[in-house]
Amino acid sequence: MDAKVKIPIVAVAGAGSGISLGIFIGEVVARLTGQTGWYRFGVKAIVKMALFFVLHMISRKFEGLGSFGLEVASYGMAGSIIPDAFEAAFVGGLPGLAELVAVSARTSTVRVERFVPTERMAQGIAAGGLL
């Protein structure tokens, strides 16, 4: 297989593996320690950064596509910290933030017609009744 094909395949496999492994191990440790909120984010970030450094150091010991794949996997682990920050900051994480933005956008575009009472309605209100 040509290097033009191998490199993107290894990069995608490495990034996907790093993100998945980082999320899984970080989530397991956070649940084992019973953390919530920003403490949960801190635990997951520490675990993912430790895994990043371990994988990154291992990738430096080898050469070739395997080393490249491990290096990209380490970057994927570190990058998976960003969604964790959104999860700590917003209810539902990034999907929750997207819902908040979508609902705000939908409600701001709804046109509300201004109520203008007719003359008969105005007379009824003035007389103490609704009509």
DSSP state letters, the chain: --HHHHHHHHHHHHHHHHHHHHHHHHHHHHHHHT--HHHHHHHHHHHHHHHHHHHHHHHHT--SHHHHHHHHHHHHHHHTHHHHHHHHHSTTHHHHHHHHHHHHHHHHH---PPP---HHHHHHHHTTS--
- The pLDDT value given to residue 5: 86
pLDDT at 85: 94
Domain ranges of the chain: 3-91
pLDDT of residue 111: 67
- At residue 129, the pLDDT reads 61
Which segments in the chain show pLDDT lower than 70?
110-117, 120-131
Residue pLDDT, tens place only, 38-70: 999 999 999 999 999 999 999 999 888 889 999
* pTM, 2 dp: 0.73
